[in-house]
Amino acid sequence: MKIIIARHGEAEPASDDGKDSSRELTQKGKEDAEKMATFLQTGFHIKKIFHSPFLRTMKTAEIYSRILKPELETESTLDLAPGENYGGILPRLKEYSNSDAILIVGHSPDVSIFAERLLGISGVGKSFLFTPGSALAINVPREKMHDGQIIWFVSPDFLCN
């Protein structure tokens, strides 16, 4: 199974209501998500997109969904909220086949910790620096959900418009 783990695009430092969950994407965050989605079109047919319920991840996932047109409806889940270990999403991922590509949009450092888990690295989320909008693609056997292999790790800052 191909699991693409993406950090949400760059977000405003604060929201109008003062809640972290309500922070909007910046213009750069929106443009970066579009660049990453266009990049993903070249190698993957996304079956499903899961994202955190926070506004910045929802907006990032909406951009991915508009461009990638996943086979199944994009879904918000509390399993990907900030501070979660993302372990709750694993049983849901096992419902898909090894040939499927799933996109997960989340937060730092949780995306790093989850990537380490899928790769079988014992770490504390410091193996991968997910800058806003960056993504890591991992090939991982759904039967184990660990000992995966890195396909690529890319930041939108390194992609052409």
Per-residue pLDDT of the chain (161 residues; tens, 9 = 90+): 999 999 999 999 999 999 999 999 999 999 999 999 999 998 889 999 999 999 999 999 999 999 999 999 999 999 999 999 898 999 999 999 999 999 999 999 999 999 999 999 876 667 788 999 999 999 999 999 999 999 999 999 998 76
What is the reported pLDDT for 125? 67
What is the reported pLDDT for 124? 63
What is the reported pLDDT for 11? 98
What is the reported pLDDT for 63? 98
What is the reported pLDDT for 160? 79
Model confidence, pTM: 0.95
Q: 24-28 contacts: CB < 8 A, separation 24 or more?
A: 24/55, 24/56, 24/59, 25/56, 25/59, 25/60
Give the CA diameter of the chain.
Answer: 44
Question: Which residues are CB-contacts of 51 (< 8 A; sequence separation ≥ 6)?
Answer: 57, 58, 60, 61, 74, 75, 76, 77, 80, 104, 105, 106
What is the reported pLDDT for 57? 98
Domains belonging to the chain, first-starting first, are: 2-158 (3.40.50.1240)
